[in-house]
Amino acid sequence: MRWGRYLLFVIGLLISQQMHAGSGTVYHFLRNDVGSRAAALAGSFVSISNDPNGIFYNPASLNTIEGPMGSVGFLKHLLDINAGYASYAEDFEGIGSVGAGIVYTNYGSFDKTNAAGTVLGTFSASDIALTIGYGNLLGENLHYGINLKFISSTIDEYSSTGAAADIGLLFEVPDSRLALGASVRNIGRQLTKYGSAEEDLPLDVMAGGSVVPRGLPLLLNLGFHKLNEDVDAFADRFKAFTVGGEFSLSPSFQLRFGYDNEKRSDLKIGSSAGLAGFSGGLGVLFDRYRVDYALSSLGKVGDLHRVSIATDF
């Protein structure tokens, strides 16, 4: 797979040009969790295998797909904001694994007014991103993956488009129940801008691991996010961490929990954060279909509810 190494090297050069980019304000929806399972695990998904929604977190996970798989889901956000996604992945012997995904967010309708406050009508806003991914083996038990994505965002008559890439690695430690993953998401730039100023994409360097403790029906996940962003102290670089756990109570029922440290810190109001940063959910298997539900707490701001359906083809 020499060409795969060359491609990773080229994209690595692009990363080096953007490693110190800020969190950015454009296409921020690309940071949202995708899928009920991932949301219930608080986004600790960079080292998850055999799940079509792994394409949104680490494209290397595409190469762990055991058969054709698809997933669709819906998010009921705060106010009138709604979002959804669809994903598909399949392995082709001798070629590698391919996948595709789409995420969208609709922000509802807003009143359009002039400087005097007179209502002139209404307008809407929405975001959408299309992703195509490829995964294969880079070495024994070492998977790599690459995504290409097209992004479109509109606010009233204004619009912006962008192009980006994701790269990732996933290593399944031999003779163990441990997997280690790392990915760099949203390496790219705007193609067309809202105005005259070009804005950074939300570059995100992630790393983490998953383990199944011996003798327990539990998948534990740990993830570190935004490792590329500037911080005042070295220890602060690891404050954006997430933890997730998935209990397999039976072959057809899973219980999940998660914790997002950065979200809890950001949503703290006064001296209390309530349950902000905590999440939970469940998965129920019906024949070839898995129905997932997740609830993510934003503390006093409210709760987010997600429903997803995944299936083998």
What does the buried/exposed string (b/e) look like for 271-284 if buried means 16 or more CB atoms within 10 Å of the residue's CB?
A: eebebbbbbbbbbe
Structure-token pair, residue 2: 């020499």
Q: Tell me how far the alpha carbon of residue 277 is from its chain's centroid.
A: 16
pLDDT, position 268: 82
Mean pLDDT on 181-203 = 93
pLDDT, position 51: 96
User: Which amino acid type is present at position 275?
Assistant: L
Question: 276: which DSSP letter?
Answer: T
**CATH (one of 3.90.1150.10, 3.40.1530.20, 3.40.50.300, 2.40.160.60) for 2-312:** 2.40.160.60
Structure-token pair, residue 26: 């454009």
How many CB atoms sit inside 10 A of residue 237's CB? 15
The rounded distance, in Å, linking the Cα atoms of 1 and 229 is 32
Is the predicted pLDDT of residue 18 greater than 60, yes or no?
no
To the question of pTM greater than 0.85 for the whole model, the response is: yes
pLDDT digits (tens, 9 = 90+) for 80-115: 889 999 999 999 988 999 999 999 999 988 888 888
DSSP labels for 214-242? TT-SEEEEEEE--TTS--SSGGGGG-SEE
CA distances from 48 to 153, 162, 167, 304 (A): 29, 27, 15, 22
The rounded distance, in Å, linking the Cα atoms of 266 and 283 is 29
The rounded distance, in Å, linking the Cα atoms of 19 and 91 is 32
* φ and ψ of 299, to 5 deg: 70, -135
The rounded distance, in Å, linking the Cα atoms of 195 and 202 is 18
Which region holds residue 96: left if phi is over 0, alpha if psi is between -120 and 50, else beta? left
* φ and ψ of 214, to 5 deg: -60, 130
**Average pLDDT over all residues of the chain:** 90
User: Which amino acid type is present at position 294?
Assistant: A
Beta-bridge mates of residue 146: 134, 167
Domain boundaries, the chain: 2-312
Beta-bridge mates of residue 37: none
Mean pLDDT on 239-261 = 96
pLDDT, position 8: 46
Residue 63: pLDDT band with limits 50, 70, 90? very high
pLDDT, position 182: 98
Burial degree of 30 (CB within 10 A; 0-12, 13-18, 19+) = buried
Contact 259, 275 (CB under 8 A): no
3-state secondary structure of 157: coil
Contact 61, 240 (CB under 8 A): no
pLDDT, position 231: 87
Q: How many residues make up the chain in this entry? A: 313
Task: Reduce the secondary structure of 108-146 to three states and give it as a string.
Answer: EEEEEECCCCCEEEEEEEEEEEEEEEEEEEEECCEEEEE
